[in-house]
Structure 1
């Protein structure tokens, strides 16, 4: 069994040279000593030096610095440059780490044999020495230290003072723009992973865009990864919801003079907002992480990220449940790293449609185990009228097939009742928020028609009369 893999080492180092941002992902797992080849150790050590000096980690700077250190190997360096960069660097970095630990264990086993046979020590002393060395191997890869109580107390007091300064007794996190949802969640907190799940046609994307627009009204930035539809389609939906122009009319360009005026006003309003959409379509979690890190660095005002939707994120892991586990965990860690809430839309299993009560539950999530574990908040969207309409159409179809006339007592509504079911909330209650869904505009609104001044939150900022 080989306890090293030079091809993977070269692929990882090549990936960093190809894209310097990859260094952070690798450095979180590997240290220079984890590479087997000495030159690979020197090269990764030099990458670390350049990173801390905020200099480009590229071929020119690496070559110059290695030459200055008198550790440059032209042949080994060219071999790395000629190796195709590895895409899933974290997965392969963990493999290199695993091999490194095994080498250390074998080295320790050799030391143990030598100590026991050659050194004149009491057995208990040898056991303690071995335990110490084993502990060093086990803990050498841990990043970060414990926080003492004084540090924790100071940070907690700072957090409380920050909340007091907001002078808002309802919202402590990012304002959702929905009164009752704010009351249930206190807003979305920094570092939260929020899952919004539903069956098709329930309005997942519409609800996420409504949340995005409410955040934009607060002059805070929003990033959207649209893996299913082009950016222009998302913008049509957002404009429809914001301007109250029917979505179908916008798609057809069937607008009267008043609606053209509204369209112009809302377009001018949105064009000045910090909204960023990536509609590349086929992306993996590493690409999402790299793009979001870069965007956040360039636009610190980014306060919310939305991914539509989770199951469309590609992965090199074949087992789908393991891939989803890796994706959901990575999104949670990314939310904590960037200190913003990340919303990921998710599909539900078809199993719920065979139940009399079709309201979703946590077990209806596809690959639910990992998602349920990593998410801070899981919300389901449910509109009973969607199923009533389907049932009515099915009855009509069956009757026509039998040559019978059937009278359908169900009439589709322009405004339907909607439920936002909070199935999990790590730091708050679960329950149902009642809303209304305006189908023509793909717009969710609070069902409460009148609220007191206290119940109004920061998201009730006036926007142009459109």
Structure 2
């Protein structure tokens, strides 16, 4: 291994700083791990220091030797610790030593990752995947230059910002969250908040994709935001065609078949004008990994800014390995939650539900019905379940319940919306509340839809 990939002097400097000034241990151990050491003797000595500190034993040459007499090579601990202490004249430069140790450790990891990437490249892996692996491998380099960063904050230092935000929300000068475009849903979730992972779950055909796309279109077309939509089911052309149908109130079937009326064209022209101005970006590549999604999203945020990210849907994201499916989906979920925090925007993640709810008397889904991994429910800040009972008369006529089964900053509840299937969109429900008789019969809203079809 190249000499430039490690520094024995810096490793000695870190250990010597602790021996000279033991009260530096907490700060140093928060920056440097045992695995960051290249020299096995120094790594072993650092581990002994950690063990002593954990046991409440003062750290010095004698206590270290008492804790472990010999290092892996057989060299007495007291001898190696003594050499370290004598080679470091001062603890003043400990930050520089720690930075070098951490930096060289990351560089070694990058070299190792490069070897893996080179092997994958020769196996004819797609170029986009090779690039994504390289970006993921070097991501830790972004965190190296953190000496000036504050690791914790006093409450009083944060209060001014928080109170200013509360005041601005009270005076309606800033929104409490990004609007979904559906007033009843906004009242429940109080908007979609930056850094939140919003899971929209539903059975096949329930309308979860309609809701996800409609929210993204609202942010980009009505609120002048920037949106990026990943669809692993539909093509980019299908996504935009749905946008024309939804925004222009044009029958989707007519757009697909070309059987259009003369009065459809002005509406198409109007929708095209809106979408042409919108900063809505789409990706329809199949087999996307989280690393690739993260790479594209960060690239889009740097170039365009980003207000919302949509992923349709989580169970179609390709896992990095072939291990247990539940564990892999759980890792994907946590990575998407971390991405929301990193980008500081709402990330709307669509998810399939299992069919457990269909066996219940009321057929209403719960957050625990999300398929493949319970980790998705745990990671989510908001869970919205799209429920349309097609066996009921109201469901056949498009009445859909949006069940907010989890929300960290508001109350759980539900609201009714009307699904306009031909326009692939939801609108606010304007029907009358169900009568007590209809509720008891298990057929709410039946009187309003007698004789109608969707």
Deviation at 1:119, TM superposition (A): 6.5
**1:305 is the counterpart of 2:243:** no
| Distance in 2 separating the partners of 1:427 and 1:41 | 47
Structure 1 residues 225-374: aligned runs within 5 Å: 225-300=230-305, 302-317=306-321, 318-374=323-379
| Distance in 2 separating the partners of 1:108 and 1:274 | 52
The alpha-carbon distance between structure 1 residues 242 and 99, as it changes in their structure 2 partners (threshold 3 A), is same
Q: State the match for 2:421 in structure 1.
A: 439
Aligned pairs, number: 321
Deviation at 1:333, TM superposition (A): 1.3
Deviation at 1:108, TM superposition (A): 3.5
CA RMSD of aligned residues (A): 3.2
Q: State the match for 2:5 in structure 1.
A: 40
The alpha-carbon distance between structure 1 residues 112 and 205, as it changes in their structure 2 partners (threshold 3 A), is farther
Deviation at 1:362, TM superposition (A): 1.6
| Distance in 2 separating the partners of 1:333 and 1:411 | 39
Structure 1 residues 423-432 or 322-331, which shifts more? 322-331
| Distance in 1 separating the partners of 2:409 and 2:269 | 42
Q: State the match for 1:151 in structure 2.
A: 157
| Distance in 2 separating the partners of 1:327 and 1:98 | 28
**1:203 is the counterpart of 2:207:** yes
Q: Residue deviations 1:307-361, cap 9 Å, x none?
A: 0000111112322122112111111111111111000000011222233321101
| Distance in 2 separating the partners of 1:196 and 1:242 | 21
Q: Secondary structure at the match of 1:257?
A: coil
TM-score normalised by the chain length of structure 2: 0.64
2:411 counterpart (423, 429, 445): 429
Deviation at 1:160, TM superposition (A): 1.8
The alpha-carbon distance between structure 1 residues 319 and 145, as it changes in their structure 2 partners (threshold 3 A), is same
| Distance in 2 separating the partners of 1:346 and 1:189 | 19
> What runs of 5+ residues in structure 2 fail to find an aligned partner?
11-32, 49-60, 70-76, 80-97, 103-142, 433-454
| Distance in 2 separating the partners of 1:148 and 1:114 | 35
> What runs of 5+ residues in structure 1 fail to find an aligned partner?
1-5, 7-36, 46-96, 121-136, 389-409, 451-466
**1:108 is the counterpart of 2:114:** no
| Distance in 2 separating the partners of 1:241 and 1:112 | 75
Q: State the match for 2:184 in structure 1.
A: 180
**1:377 is the counterpart of 2:359:** no
